[in-house]
Homo-oligomer: A and B are copies of this chain.
Amino acid sequence: MSDLWSVETSSLAADGEAIMRNGNIYQIANGYMGYRGTLDEYGRSELVAITLAGVFDRVGEAWREPVNAPNGGYTRIAVDGQTVGALEVPVSAHHQALSLRNAVFERKTAFALDGKTVTIASQRFLSAAEPHLGVIRYSISSDHDADIVVETGIDGDIWDLNGPHLPRLDAKMYGDTLVIAGMTNELGKCVAVAESATIPFGQQHHKVDGNRNLRVVSFKAEAGKTYTFWKYFAVCTAFEEAGLTAPEAAIAAVHEAKAQGFDVCLAAHNAVWADKWAQCDVIIEGDDETQHALRYSIFQLLIVAPVDGSRNSIPARALSGQVYKGAVFWDTEMFMFPFFLHTCPQKAAELLRYRIRTLDGARRKALTEGAGYRGAFYAWESQETGDDACTYFNIGDPLTKRELRTHFRDKQVHISGDVAIAMWEYFKLTGDDCILLEGGAEVILECARFYYSYAYFKKEKNRYEILDVIGPDEYHERVNNNAFTNMVVRATFEIASQTAFYLAETHPEAFKALVQKIAIAQELPLFAEAARLLYVPEPNPTDGLIEQFDGYFNLRNVPVEELKSQRIHPDEYLGAGQGLAVPTQVIKQADVVMMLSLFRERYPTAVKRVNWEYYEPRTEHGSSLSACAYAMVAAEFGNLDFAYKYFLKTARLDLDAKYKIYVGTVFMGGSHPAANGGAWMTAVFGFGGVSAGADQVTISPRLYKSWRSLKFKLAYKGDSFDITITHDSVAVTAAPSNRQTRRFCVWGRDESCVPGKRILIDRAEKVA
């Protein structure tokens, strides 16, 4: 990094893997689409992709996956008849940078061509103000006179994992606008890209070259002069509701952008970004490396936040490509949602609306999974309908080349509660019941109903139990009474009762209609009973340990490294019934500790410490979701060095991009928005010690030693607060526009924060 607001490099990625990793690091996105960090002249073999949010397709028996649009950002030049590109001709200088401030990607590359140096420079952004729009400024200069031909337009040669999704592309030109449109394979819906350009030099003609729809511009470049043109492209699809067809809408969008021009488009884009950062930035003084990594993490979340009104969510690999089928996992509610909820709740609401939209899919899954259940069993891998994209056999065994049966889909039942908890948290922290009334209450009740139909009662123990599940630790499948899962289920039953109570009190008509619609009147009292009688593994009275599931403590205790040394093949999966970890205490990721983090207000610090110390050495951290949970809980009981180490690990994950690209034969490269969310949570919840509840915000700071201060904004109950934490004090400033005085509890002291006022709490006073 050269400053705290950018990622940049002067070395050119030349091999396939480096190009792939840079494609992730330098990606831009605007919630509607993601554009990998590739160069203008790159094509499918360099993994160029414009991945569309919420647009899915399936080819044959392969996985359904998101559709990549034709690349409207394509430009390539030829100089004196020679094709020029970073991978074809010698590069004498290269620089590329991604601005975190406004998600603008730029590159500048000088090519050495038989004594001439030709330099191209481009800047591109996907408009944060107009989600369909991508805008590019492209410049060419040569130190000698040269004959230059520019080919720019739309590249329909699309990189796909399981494509082609737009099998018969149609390339047209309408006036000065290029269009490529195609129909998806499965649903036959149109995806269209339009492109137009302002090119104030040269002779133009139109050319269709295979799947490329191009304008060809020939000109004689004078030595030392810079030739700049501007491209506008738009992606529209028939998956959206619109009066226009997708090509029409795309054409209209580029016409409007072109009429406004680059600067106006950029200004609108920048204004949105300024708002985003004003709401969401976290400032760490005294530790630039961490500041940079954390900001990059936040940036990653901001670029993929769903477009308002889209009712889309964020897939586990965001918009960085088609990995993980573009599916939404529990990652969203448990690791990304808290960031949005505490900074820009309108995006948190959008994530929830996605679950409301897919409720019917969750109902279908409940009915058909296992013995058949009632209520809503959310998809483990959710696409646009909520039906489960997760397969029953989905981990390749390198030893037998067979697919292993896993139970991610049918047994990881905590997903429904994760959704219900997020619904309720939104209401609790925003004070806004809109989501409940839009369908969130229905989701919550249907999730509780699912759990009730899933639970068994043990008569002789007078308790409900949750049997045969996978908790967050996926190495141990089909376990009974997983602490995390059972706690999530209990919380869901509690939330269901609270939801019913709240609606009955405040919206009796809506409540009545809902109860009637889903015929749940007789079940509501059962949820309260189940919350009361559900067994959740408790801390052992003698040592405080919580057993991850029934029988976990009887498993063999083997050091993680020793276990891994027993692998016959390095890619061998450690779980799936017969894996090496199954009969041992080695776990894939935080499980009990994840529970202690999620339900942090329910457990004393001592319990957190002993369980952390027990489980951490047994954790392989084979999931990107693991480190942040351990970091947060470590911060809570005061192991700040460990918290810091795992915080950095989480925050730097996508910036370093050193993760595995392949697991077996499955391509896994892509970004990790859950880790990004985990980084934010570790900063604010862990080190900041922030815990926002229904009645007040608690702040118990545990600042890392090298930090001078930690500053961030907090959205709470529709109001906004600036928080500044130092080692000695906490300052909370309420925005003048706040509507109410809110209660804060800082270092155990209760304070009220009046709109427009600042409170300063001194640590010393607490000690005194």
Using a CB–CB cutoff of 8 Å, the interface residues on chain A facing chain B are: 370-371, 392-393, 397, 399-400, 402, 404-405, 452-453, 456-460, 465, 467-468, 478, 480, 526, 550-551, 568, 576-578, 582-583
Known: A392-B583, A582-B405, A583-B392. A550 touches B370 (CB 8 A): yes
A-B contact pairs, 5 of them (CB 8 A): A402-B578, A405-B577, A452-B460, A453-B460, A456-B456
In the complex, chain B residues whose CB is within 8 Å of the CB of A458 = 456-457
In the complex, chain B residues whose CB is within 8 Å of the CB of A452 = 460
Q: Top 6 closest A-B pairs, CB basis?
A: A577-B577, A456-B456, A457-B457, A371-B550, A457-B459, A578-B578
Residue of B nearest to A458 (CB): B456
Instruction: Name the prevailing secondary structure of the A interface residues.
Output: loop
Contact A400 B468 (CB under 8 A): no
In the complex, chain B residues whose CB is within 8 Å of the CB of A370 = 550-551
Q: How far is the CA of A578 from the CA of B576 in the complex (A)?
A: 8
Contact B460 A456 (CB under 8 A): no
Residue of B nearest to A468 (CB): B468
Tell me how many chains of this kind the complex includes: 2
Q: How far is the CA of A393 from the CA of B580 in the complex (A)?
A: 12
In the complex, chain B residues whose CB is within 8 Å of the CB of A583 = 392-393, 405
In the complex, chain B residues whose CB is within 8 Å of the CB of A465 = 456
Shortest distance in angstroms between A562's beta carbon and chain B's nearest beta carbon? 16
Residue of B nearest to A572 (CB): B400
Residue of B nearest to A456 (CB): B456
Known: A399-B399, A399-B400, A478-B478. A467 touches B460 (CB 8 A): no
In the complex, chain B residues whose CB is within 8 Å of the CB of A459 = 457, 526
Looking at A453, A478, A480, A577, which has the most chain B CB atoms within 10 Å of its CB? Answer: A577
Shortest distance in angstroms between A169's beta carbon and chain B's nearest beta carbon? 38
Partner of A405, one of B399, B467, B578: B578
Contact A578 B404 (CB under 8 A): yes
In the complex, chain B residues whose CB is within 8 Å of the CB of A478 = 478
Residue of B nearest to A393 (CB): B583
Contact A371 B551 (CB under 8 A): yes
Q: How far is the CA of A400 from the CA of B578 in the complex (A)?
A: 11
Shortest distance in angstroms between A688's beta carbon and chain B's nearest beta carbon? 40
Residue of B nearest to A452 (CB): B460
Shortest distance in angstroms between A459's beta carbon and chain B's nearest beta carbon? 5
Residue of B nearest to A467 (CB): B467
Task: Knowing that A371-B551, A456-B467 touch, tell me 17 more A-B residue pairs with CB under 8 angstroms.
Answer: A370-B551, A371-B480, A392-B583, A393-B583, A399-B399, A400-B568, A405-B577, A405-B578, A453-B460, A456-B456, A456-B457, A457-B458, A457-B459, A459-B526, A468-B480, A576-B578, A577-B578
Shortest distance in angstroms between A149's beta carbon and chain B's nearest beta carbon? 57
Q: How far is the CA of A467 from the CA of B457 in the complex (A)?
A: 12
Shortest distance in angstroms between A450's beta carbon and chain B's nearest beta carbon? 12
Shortest distance in angstroms between A554's beta carbon and chain B's nearest beta carbon? 9
In the complex, chain B residues whose CB is within 8 Å of the CB of A399 = 399-400
Residue of B nearest to A576 (CB): B578
Shortest distance in angstroms between A470's beta carbon and chain B's nearest beta carbon? 13
In the complex, chain B residues whose CB is within 8 Å of the CB of A550 = 370-371
